[in-house]
Amino acid sequence: SPPLKWRRRRCCGHGRAAAGPGRCGGPSPSPPPLRVFCSTFDVAVVGAGIVGLASARELVLRHPELAFAVLEKEKELAHHQSGHNSGVIHSGIYYTPGSLKAKLCVQGAALCYEYCDQKGIPYKQCGKLIVAVEQDEIPRLKALYERGLQNNVRGLKLIGSKEIQAKEPFCRVRNFLIFN
């Protein structure tokens, strides 16, 4: 994808885009102010966290002819929740099959890995172990596995206790677990 370009429109000091000095319809300043600039934008995105920046990026890619601004109250980007997350890309195993949340989670995970590959961003796809420690947890684990299959979660499989020892030697489980 092309690099993002942020455009700023010059105005004459009256808050309107100018065709030239004093041509916006507002009164001509007298004497002329010292380089009065303001920015006029077609779209302003409020919040420079992961959602705000991703939304702004998508808008810029879809509408390159528009001028955009991202507004953030903090001194740095992703200062709140976006900057404190664990970095896990969720697979979609927990969501109700057929739900929008499940579909978007599975699709979003695939898009995230694709984007990282395209941009050369390193990541680890180390997988997730969901274990049944007690016998009564096994039916819930099987149901979760079925849910993941219905949601088209990639790389989902059941593995036994011997296989787990190779991946996680200190984990003690009943019968099997899910590896994704």
List the structure tokens of 142: 């099987």
Answer for the pair 151, 102: CB distance below 8 angstroms, yes or no: yes
Distance CA 118, CA 147 (A): 30
How is residue 163 written in tokens?
Answer: 């296989």
90 is catalytic: yes
Largest CA distance in the chain: 84
Asked whether 156 and 141 are in contact (CB, 8 A), the reply is no
Alpha helices in 79-122 (DSSP H): 100-119
Query: Residue 87: which of 78, 95, 96, 77 has the closest Cα?
Result: 78
Positions marked active-site: 90
